[in-house]
């Protein structure tokens, strides 16, 4: 039976990301961080802008959800167009390269962001395991 694929940025996809994160990422692996992050996808295939909101409390991935319209406040936000994020998710492009080339915008304290960068890499590794239909 073919593996079930989740539609990228759908509620089901976010739920699956949240489920896998909770299962794989222990508070120790997440450095016990308490923070929040938005990845904002512009130019989605339907023309809309939507975001994934991540909330971490003491290293526990508490919330992964899709938001549209007014975006909630988050400690960090990363903005890029849909296709760029998709390339990163397909491991065709490194997030660091996208940031350094200016194709991706980071909002938030850079010092803290750099400190959390390995933790976010771990999160991205889990996201990459979700069978996704782009």
Which of 25, 98, 116, 127 lies at the binding interface for other proteins (CB under 8 A)?
A: 98
The DSSP secondary-structure symbol of 4 reads P
104 part of the interface to other proteins, by CB under 8 A: yes
Candidates 7-15, 38-46, 85-93, 108-116; binding stretch for other proteins (CB under 8 A): 108-116
Q: Are 15 and 96 in contact (CB under 8 A)?
A: no
Here the tokens at position 102 are 């200016």
Distance CA 4, CA 95 (A): 26
- Comparing CB distances to other proteins, the nearer of 121 and 133 is 121
| Least spacing, CB of residue 114 vs other proteins, in Å | 7
Total chain residues near other proteins (CB under 8 A): 17
Contacts of 1 (CB under 8 A, 6+ apart): none
CB-CB neighbours of 31 under 10 Å: 14
Candidates 17-25, 34-42, 65-73, 105-113; binding stretch for other proteins (CB under 8 A): 105-113
């Amino acid at each position: 039976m073919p593996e079930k694929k989740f539609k990228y940025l759908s509620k089901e996809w976010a739920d699956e990301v949240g489920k896998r994160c909770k299962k794989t990422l222990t508070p120790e692996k997440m450095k016990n961080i308490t923070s929040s992050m938005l990845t904002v996808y512009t130019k989605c295939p339907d023309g809309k802008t939507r975001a994934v909101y991540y909330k971490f409390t003491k290293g526990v991935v508490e919330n992964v959800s899709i938001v549209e319209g007014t975006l909630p406040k988050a400690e960090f936000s990363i903005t890029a167009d849909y296709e760029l994020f998709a390339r990163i998710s397909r491991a065709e492009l490194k997030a660091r390269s996208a940031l350094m080339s200016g194709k991706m915008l980071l909002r938030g304290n850079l010092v803290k962001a750099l400190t959390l960068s390995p933790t976010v890499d771990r999160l991205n590794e889990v996201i990459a395991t979700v069978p996704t239909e782009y």
